[in-house]
Amino acid sequence: MESFDDNLLNSKVSSVNSHIQNSNYNDSSKKFDDARKHYEKEQREKEALDRLRANAKKQLKIIEDELKKVKKKEYEDVGPYLFELFRKLSRATNISDIKIDIGRGGKELLNITDENGTHILNRLSDGQLSVFMLSYFIGNIFRRRNVADGIKVYFIDDITSCMDDINMLAFLDFIKYQISGNDLKAPDNAAISQLFFSTCDDRIQSLLKYKLNARGIEYTQIDGTKFSSYNKF
């Protein structure tokens, strides 16, 4: 206390304040550098994502354009079969023609109309609509008949829901002739190599078995007991 000096005290206080300020500055500078580096990293990631997004949009456009072409080709190929199949498989209908048009009026919409250009899907009963979808499915089978690398194995689920509207004999005859290719000596011409067909109607099962056996086509019945070992799953 005897050697107390205001100037010395002030210089010490200034030195401490300067040290604190420098420390705060260094901490702030470090935080700023860390934040800048983090921002630059996020910017690089954002730019990479933007490039990926742009490339994805280009690829999506290519896929969508190709899908439109495939759909249009499918409609054009199935169209010629659709009405004849529907007329053959359906028990009763006053429709004289079925036309498929995609992109009419500049819009990429699928239009299914009758001979008068009237939309028909909302005029069909549930059973007739099921027959229509079955006819389209069979049209695709015809379309793929001559595809070299096509897989001619098909699955048809129970169609008893539309039995009142379907000509079952015509349907079973279709299965019989298309599996055999209409010519037992030329099985490679068959539209169907193998068919999995499910039904809960014993009459349909017996009739299908009879028709296939009469044509010399191998028939195998798979019932629920064959899956008993999988019940634990």
- On whether the CB atoms of residues 86 and 131 are closer than 8 A, the answer is yes
Question: Does 148 reside within a domain?
Answer: yes
- Residue 156: which H helix or E strand, with range? strand 153-156
* Mean pLDDT on 149-159: 78
Q: Is residue 228 part of a domain?
A: no
Q: What is the pLDDT of residue 186?
A: 44
- Residue 85 included in any domain: no
Structurally, how many domains does the chain consist of?
1
Q: 47-56, 183-192, 217-226: which has the highest mean pLDDT?
A: 47-56
Choice between 185 and 127, residue whose per-residue pLDDT is larger: 127
Q: Name the pTM for this structure.
A: 0.63
Domain that holds residue 190: 144-221
Does residue 211 lie in a domain region? yes
6 in any annotated domain: no
pLDDT tens, residue by residue, 102-113: 765 445 567 788
pLDDT at residue 70 above 60? yes
Closest CA to 217 of 225, 208, 226: 208
Q: d(Cα 121, Cα 127) in Å, to the nearest integer?
A: 12
Determine how many CB atoms are found less than 10 A away from the CB of residue 4.
Answer: 7
Residue 174 has pLDDT above 80, yes or no: yes
Paired residues of 90 in beta bridges: 166
* Residue 78 belongs to a domain: no
Beta strands at 99-102 and 153-156: parallel, antiparallel or unpaired:
unpaired
User: Is the pLDDT confidence value at 157 over 90?
Assistant: no
Q: In angstroms, rounded to a whole number, what is the distance separating the alpha carbons of residues 214 and 159?
A: 23
Which residues fall within 8 angstroms of residue 221, CB to CB, at 6 or more apart? 205, 209
Domain annotation covers residue 210: yes
Confidence of residue 189 (pLDDT cuts 50, 70, 90): low
pLDDT-based confidence at 60, cuts 50/70/90? very high
**pLDDT of 106-141, one tens digit each?**
455 677 887 777 788 777 888 888 888 888 888 888
DSSP of 94-114: -----EEEESGGGS--EEEE-
